[in-house]
Each structure stands twice: as C-alpha cells, then as structure tokens.
Amino acid sequence: DADVTQTPRNRITKTGKRIMLECSQTKGHDRMYWYRQDPGLGLQLIYYSFDVKDINKGEISDGYSVSRQAQAKFSLSLESAIPNQTALYFCATSDGVGNEQFFGPGTRLTVL
C-alpha cells in the first residue's frame, strides 16, 4: 500500500464550487505539505503543517484553506474554485526540516 495517498485522483468542477482534496499518510511523519504544479513549472507551496496545532501559509495560500484533522490527515479546500486553480496538486510528508519529502500521487483538478 502507498505511504501517502490522495483523494480524489482526478476532479472536474465548476467555477464557484467548494472543493476538498484529502491527503492521508501511514509514514508516521509530523510534517505535511500541500503544493500545486502548473504545466512546465516547479512546485509551489500552498500550506504546510509541522504538527496538528501548527499550520503555516506558503507562498500561494490565497484562495485556499487547510485542516489538519490528525497527524495522518491533511486536507486542502478551495472555498470558491476559479479556473486559474486548475493544476496538479501534491501532498507531501517529511519527518524533519532537512529530510526528504515523500509525495503522494497527485490530484489533477480542472475548474471550468
């Protein structure tokens, strides 16, 4: 079984809809991250959490919110989706600041 899972894997929605992307991990890591990737670009950090009570904004947090329901679960919400939020979204985990991040398989989101 995969250590970092994301649901859904693909989603098509309409402008103005509320969307939640979910991430779960079985690695026992405290640190979790949400990134988005646009075609031909690197990953941009949306939000990160170093434990259940520690949530921080990344470089592109506007239009997004997150919830860390438990050590193993970190959800990303788009309160009112817009077309320029169409992208590939990755969740990642790590067990230390200088340690490698393990990525989930990604969620491809299309906002029409």
Partner 1 sequence: GQNIDQPTEMTATEGAIVQINCTYQTSGFNGLFWYQQHAGEAPTFLSYNVLDGLEEKGRFSSFLSRSKGYSYLLLKELQMKDSASYLCAVLGSARQLTFGSGTQLTVLP
* Binding residue (CB under 8 A) for partner 1 from 7, 13, 44, 71: 44
Please give the residues from 52 up to 71 whose contact with partner 1 meets the rule CB under 8 A. 58-59
Going from the C-alpha of 91 to that of each of 4, 58, 84, the distances in angstroms are 8, 13, 19
Does 41 participate in binding partner 1 (rule CB under 8 A)?
yes
C-alpha torsion angle, residues 73, 103, 47, 21 (rounded to 10)? -50
How many DSSP H helices and E strands does the chain contain? 0, 11
* Binding residue (CB under 8 A) for partner 1 from 25, 64, 104, 109: 104
Residues forming the site for partner 1 (CB under 8 A): 33, 35, 40-45, 48, 50, 58-59, 88, 90, 97-106
